[in-house]
Amino acid sequence: MKRLCTIFIFAICSLWLGGCINDDVPGRREVVRMGDLLPDFAITMNDGSVVTGESLRKSVAVVLFFHTTCPDCQQLLPQIQPLYDEYSPRGVAFALIGREESAASVAAFWSAHNLTMPYSPQEDRAVYSLFAKSLIPRVYISDNEGRVRYIFTDDPVPSYADIESALDTIL
């Protein structure tokens, strides 16, 4: 009986940690690939500013899709804050987009982790689906012509140094 309980708990944990937030889409996961232009979209950030694909195509940009209950996203988001602090004054645009997440849940995570970066909570996958079909976190780094030069996902979760290196290479 104890062995059966252990197997059951392991199976539940594997399902929970194995994929973040309904990511069981078979086949190709990417819509935007390296070398593609950032797609057209418009989002309103929590600070009231509007970010569009067009505006991001005018500068080096970091687009990050996340969900605050995703363990990989929880690992990545606090690493993005110092990158935002260092690179946004240098003209790098950041668009942090909560996939299928309410404003209240993102605000609670931001508050708990002392994050100050603007974000856009999206309660659906409308913007996300322009970029990919599954997997978060997803980080897209584009050059000042809007061409995606780097894509990072959860395999492995990018480090501060990975993203810093990508940004320094483009800048």
Coil, strand or helix at 154: coil
| Annotated domain spans of the chain | 32-170
Q: Cα separation of 109 and 123, whole Å?
A: 16
pTM of the model: 0.85
Q: Cα separation of 23 and 25, whole Å?
A: 6
39-56 pLDDT, tens digit per residue, is 999 999 999 999 999 999
Token reading at 91: 């003209």
Give percent above pLDDT 90 in the chain: 81
Class of domain 32-170 as given by CATH? alpha beta
Dihedrals φ, ψ of 30, to 5°? -90, 145
